[in-house]
Amino acid sequence: MFTGIVTDIGEVLAVEPRGEGLRRLMIGCRYEPASIVNGASIACNGVCMTVVGAGERDERTWFAVDAAAETLRVTTVGTWQQGTRVNLERALRLGDELGGHLVAAHVDGVAEITTREDLRDMMRFAVRSPPHLARFIAPKGSVALDGVSLTVNDVEGDSFSVLIIPHTLAVTTIGSWLAGTAVNLEVDLMARYAARLMDMR
């Protein structure tokens, strides 16, 4: 589990095809290399990925993850290339502060930024979700976009808006989003289970 509070911005250092639709990605970060072990989970732009190797190169920490065909199909990972910047978050530990909301880092679909509005010190984005996910998004509810926990402002049909404060802009990749940018979307777990209970009734 994760919280949607980004702890580092990583950079894709290499992408290596591995056959059968598998890709291995090497991602540079600022985490202590000794703290990254094989099998650990790290959310990369909101996608839970399993570490399969780690080390240091040119005085920089790196870790490697494998992306399978399903991950490449339902997320933006398939578009990543050398130089792509990604939001990183280590897995939640018991006793950690829950600063955002509970995030599984199991991406539900890819949303699209439709408009960007630059305000004084802040930004407002309009986002279009896949139609089948719109029912899970409500005003004042939570979503994770590229792994960042955000509060929904307004909702109209399959579109919604989010307002980004200066701190979030400073510590995530959100400031680079433009109209047309594809982002990983995870809806709120509680909304998903509530909808499921209503369906069963």
User: Rg of the chain over CA atoms, in angstroms?
Assistant: 17
72 three-class SS: helix
* Separation between Cα atoms, residue 151 and residue 149, nearest integer Å: 7
Counting the structural domains of the chain, the total is 2
My answer on whether 86 and 113 are in the same domain is: no
The answer to whether residue 127 is domain-embedded is yes
Q: Do 135 and 174 have their domain in common?
A: yes
Q: Are residues 125 and 180 in the same domain?
A: yes
The catalytic residue among 14, 79, 151, 194 is 151
In angstroms, rounded to a whole number, what is the distance separating the alpha carbons of residues 129 and 154?
A: 13
The answer to the question of residue 95 being in a domain is no
Q: What is the pLDDT of residues 58-84, one digit of tens each?
A: 889 999 999 999 999 999 999 999 999
Catalytic-residue membership of 125: no
* Averaged pLDDT score across all residues of the chain: 93
Q: Report residue 97's pLDDT band, with 50, 70 and 90 as the boundaries.
A: confident
Q: Is residue 162 part of a domain?
A: yes
Of 90, 122, 140, which marks where a domain is finished?
90
Please compute the mean of the pLDDT values over residues 138-157 and round it to a whole number.
96
Q: 81 and 13 share a domain? A: yes
Q: pLDDT tens for residues 19-45? A: 888 999 999 999 999 999 999 999 999
Is residue 29 part of the annotated active site? The answer reads no
* Catalytic residue check, 50: yes
Residue range 101-119: average pLDDT? 95
- 19 with 66, same domain? yes
Exactly one of 2, 63, 136, 160 is catalytic; name it. Answer: 2
Q: What is the CATH number of the domain that holds 29?
A: 2.40.30.20
* Nearest alpha carbon to residue 136 among 68, 92, 185, 75: 185
The answer to whether residue 192 scores a pLDDT higher than 80 is no
Which has the minimum average pLDDT: 2-11, 38-47, 89-98?
Answer: 89-98
Confidence (pLDDT) at 105:
93
pLDDT of 5 > 70? The answer is: yes
Q: Is 151 noted as a catalytic residue in this protein?
A: yes
Catalytic residue among 106, 132, 194, 195: 106
Instruction: Say which amino acid occupies 109.
Output: G
- Bridge partners of 42, per DSSP, are 49, 90
| Residue 74 domain boundaries | 8-90
> What single letter denotes the amino acid at residue 180?
G
Q: Is 76 a catalytic residue?
A: no
Q: Of the listed 14, 35, 50, 194, which one is catalytic?
A: 50
